[in-house]
Chain A
Amino acid sequence: MASHSESIIREPLITGDNITYAQITNDVLRPVENMPGRAWWIGFTLASLGATLWVFSVSWTFWYGIGEWGLNKTIGWSWDITGFVWWVGIGHAGTLISAILLLFRQNWRNSINRSAEAMTIFAVICAATYVVSHMGRPWLAYWPLPLPNQFGSIWVNFNSPLVWDVFAISTYFSVSLVFWYTGLLPDLATIRDRATGIRQKIYSVLSFGWTGSVKTWQRFETVCLILAGISTPLVLSVHTIVSMDFATSLEPGWHTTIFPPYFVAGAIFSGFAMVQTLLLVARKVLGLENYITMFHIEAMNKIILLTGSIVGVAYMTEFFIAYYSGGEYEQYTFLNRFIGPQWWAGCMMYGCNVLMTQLMWFKSVRRNVPISWVLSIVVNIGMWFERYVIIQISLQRDFLPSSWSVFHPTWVDMSVFIGSIGLFFTMFLLFVRVLPSIAMAEVKLILKSSSEQAKKKLLAHGDLDPEQVEFYKESLVKFDSVEIANYQKA
Chain B
Amino acid sequence: MSKTKYILGLFEDPDEMMHGIDLLQKNSVPIYDVFTPMPIHGIERKLGIKDSRLGYAAFMFGCLGGTTIFSMAYYMLVHDWPMNIGGKPAFAIPDFIPITFEWTVLFTAFGMTLTFFFATHLFPGRTPRVMDLRATDDRFVIAIDAKGSTPHEDITKILKDAGAVEVKHNDRKYVSYE
* A residues neighboring B (CB under 8 Å): 1-3, 20-22, 25, 146, 152-159, 161, 163-164, 167-168, 171, 174-175, 178-179, 182, 185-186, 189-190, 192-194, 204-223, 226-227, 230-231, 233-234, 237, 241, 440-442, 444-445, 448
Smallest beta-carbon distance A242→chain B, Å: 11
Beta-carbon contact of A234 and B76 below 8 Å? no
Q: Among B2-10, B118-126, B150-158, which stretch is in contact with chain A?
A: B118-126
A178-B110, A209-B122 given. 4 additional CB < 8 A pairs? Answer: A158-B76, A158-B99, A208-B123, A211-B136
Check B26 for interface membership: any CB of A closer than 8 A. Answer: no
Quick check: B54 and A226 within 8 Å, CB to CB? yes
In the bound assembly, the distance between CA atoms of A218 and B43 in angstroms comes to: 9
Picked from A179, A190, A234, the residue with its CB within 8 Å of the CB of B37 is A190
- Chain A residues with Cβ below 8 Å from B83 are 154, 157
Proximity bits, B1-25, A CB within 8 Å = 1, else 0: 0000000000011110110000000
CB distance from B57 to the nearest CB of A (A): 9
Q: Is the CB of B116 within 8 A of A158?
A: no
Q: Is the CB of B133 within 8 A of A193?
A: yes
A153–B80 CB distance below 8 A: yes
* A233 contacts B101, C-beta separation under 8 Å: yes
A179–B109 CB distance below 8 A:
yes
> Which B residue's beta carbon lies closest to that of A226?
B58
Bound: A20/B140 CA distance, A: 13
Residues on A with C-beta less than 8 A from B127 are 204, 209
**Given known A157-B83, A230-B105, contact A206–B55 (CB-CB < 8 A):** no
**Known contacts A153-B81, A222-B52; is A209 also within 8 Å of B123 by CB?**
yes
Bound CA span A220–B103, Å: 22
Would B38 and A442 count as touching, CB distance under 8 A? Answer: yes
Query: Is A220 in contact with B116, judged by CB distance below 8 angstroms?
Result: yes
* Residues on the B chain within 8 Å of A214, using CB: 33-34, 36, 43-44, 47, 49
Q: Which residues of A contact B134 (CB under 8 A)?
A: 193
CA–CA, A208 and B118, complex, Å: 11
How far does the alpha carbon of A161 sit from the alpha carbon of B52 in the complex, in Å? 38
Given A146-B72, A209-B127, answer yes or no on A237-B54 (Cβ-Cβ < 8 Å).
Answer: no
Interface residue B87 (Cβ < 8 Å from any Cβ of A): no
**Residues of B close to A220: CB separation below 8 A:** 39, 116
Q: Which residues of B contact A440 (CB under 8 A)?
A: 37
A186 touches B136 (CB 8 A): yes
| B77: chain A residues within 8 A (beta carbon) | 155, 157-159
Q: Would you call A2 and B37 a contact (CB within 8 A)?
A: no
B106 at the interface (CB under 8 A from A): yes
Known: A21-B137, A190-B37. A211 touches B129 (CB 8 A): yes
Which one of A3, A20, A168, A193 lies within 8 Å of B136 (CB-CB)? Answer: A193
What string of 1s and 0s marks CB contacts (under 8 Å) between B46-90 and chain A?
Answer: 010100101100100010000001001100110011010100000
The interface size of chain B toward A, counting residues with CB under 8 Å, comes to 71
Q: How far is the CA of A445 from the CA of B127 in the complex (A)?
A: 26
B27 at the interface (CB under 8 A from A): no
In the complex, 15 of the A-B residue pairs with CB atoms within 8 angstroms, ordered by the A residue number, are A167-B103, A185-B122, A193-B176, A208-B123, A211-B136, A212-B37, A214-B33, A223-B112, A223-B116, A226-B112, A227-B113, A231-B105, A237-B102, A444-B38, A448-B14
Task: Please indicate the chain A residues that have their CB under 8 angstroms from the CB of B34 in the complex.
Answer: 213-214
Question: Given A158-B76, A178-B110, A222-B55 in contact, is the A217-B103 Cβ separation under 8 Å?
Answer: no
Q: Is the CB of A158 within 8 A of B96?
A: yes
B15, B73, B106, B138: the one within 8 Å of A2 (CB): B15
Which residues of B are found within 8 Å of A189, using beta-carbon distances? 128, 136
Q: Please give, as numbers and ranges, the residues of chain B lying within 8 Å of A193 by CB-CB distance.
A: 128, 130, 133-137, 176
- A39 to B150: give the CA distance in the assembly, Å: 57
Please determine whether A215 and B102 come into contact, CB atoms closer than 8 angstroms.
no
Residue on B nearest A168 in the bound complex, by CB: B102
Q: Is the pair B109, A3 in contact by a Cβ cutoff of 8 Å?
A: no
CB distance from A42 to the nearest CB of B (A): 32
Closest to A194 in B: B137
> A1 contacts which of B41, B52, B122, B126 (Cβ < 8 Å)?
B41
Report the nearest A residue to B77, measured CB to CB: A158
Whether A21 pairs with B37 at a CB distance below 8 angstroms is yes
Central interface residue in B34, B98, B125, by most chain A CB within 10 Å: B98
A423 vs B40: C-alpha distance when bound (angstroms): 39
- Residues in B with CB closer than 8 Å to A215 are 33, 44, 49, 120
Contact A210 B33 (CB under 8 A): no
Contact of B102 among A167, A182, A207 (CB under 8 A): A167
Residues of A within 8 A of B119 (CB): 219
A96 to chain B, nearest CB (A): 15
Are A205's CB and B49's CB within 8 A? no
Closest beta carbon of chain B to A207's beta carbon, Å = 7
A218 touches B39 (CB 8 A): yes
Q: Known: A158-B95, A212-B35, A214-B47. Is A226-B108 also a contact (CB below 8 A)?
A: yes
* Residues of chain A contacted by B35 (CB below 8 angstroms): 211-213
Q: How far is the CA of A217 from the CA of B121 in the complex (A)?
A: 13
Residues of A within 8 A of B112 (CB): 223, 226-227
Report how far A127 CA is from B104 CA in the complex, Å: 23
The 6 A-B residue pairs whose C-beta atoms are closest, nearest first, are: A209-B126, A2-B14, A21-B138, A155-B76, A22-B138, A208-B122
A20 x B138 contact (CB < 8 A):
yes
* Residue in B37, B112, B116 with the greatest tally of chain A CB atoms within 10 Å: B37
Q: How far is the CB of A395 from the nearest CB of chain B, in Å?
A: 24
Whole-angstrom distance between the alpha carbons of A155 and B75 in the complex? Answer: 10
Residue in contact with B105 in the complex, picked from A20, A25, A175, A192, CB distance below 8 Å: A175
On chain A, the residues within 8 Å of B95 by CB distance are 158-159
Specify which chain B residues have a CB less than 8 angstroms from the CB of A223 in the assembled complex. Answer: 54, 112-113, 116
What residues on A are CB-neighbors of B47 within 8 Å? 214
B129 contacts across to A, CB distance below 8 A: 209, 211
A171 to B102, CA, bound (A): 6
Q: How far is the CB of B74 from chain A (nearest CB, A)?
A: 9
Q: Which residue of B lies closest to A191 (CB)?
A: B136
C-alpha gap A231/B15 in the complex (Å): 33
